[in-house]
Amino acid sequence: MNTAKARNAYQKSEAQAQIHPVKLIHLLYERVLLHLELAEQAVIAHEIKARGENLSKAIAIVSELNASIEVADNSDAAEFLRGLYGAILLELPKVAISLDVEIIRKAHRYLSRLLEIWQETAMVEAGFNECQHDTPPPEEEHHYGNTGGSGRAVSPEYSAGGLKKFKVLDAAACHLHGVSVSI
């Protein structure tokens, strides 16, 4: 009898702990932005421990976002995200030595824009409308470089390669993180 109760309790808690994949990606974006903000504050305040902890957490979350992209997805959007996440993962560890907050700010800008896109597309389509924000997204075009044969597009700040034009919404709004999104 106790075994049955324990199994039922386990199954009930497991069902409650499941988070919709779209919401999980949203939470990861929100959390990485928080850790980047805390890391920037720690760099400015010369708080070594807080800097290290928050940079480590931000790097871990970006790694998870990168790993969440479907391996078989070779679309432009997936390649763009892999390249962007890869560039961020190459640059963020440098902050521990260089104390260059501009690296953190660039990563924050890119990830903030991806969060906005996620809110406007995947969250709305999945029925999570409470994530709407009051400010309209900017209508600017962004330019991204190609890393010279790797097929992974990254931002010009992280790449000296040739430029290829993408509208961020077009490049990152379809097949993000294994969730089909239409625009």
d(CA 14, CA 140): 43
Amino acid residing at 21 = P
> For residue 140, what pLDDT is reported?
37
Dihedral sign, CA of 48, 159, 144, 141? positive
Q: Which two tokens stand for residue 111?
A: 């990830």
The CATH number of 20-129+146-172 is 1.20.120.340
**pLDDT, tens digit, 9 for 90 and up, residues 110-156:** 999 999 999 999 999 988 865 444 433 333 333 333 333 333 333 33
Amino acid residing at 83 = G
Residue ranges covered by each domain of the chain: 20-129+146-172
Closest-CA residue to 42 (of 93, 109, 101):
101
What are the phi and psi torsion angles at 96 (to 5°)?
-60, -30
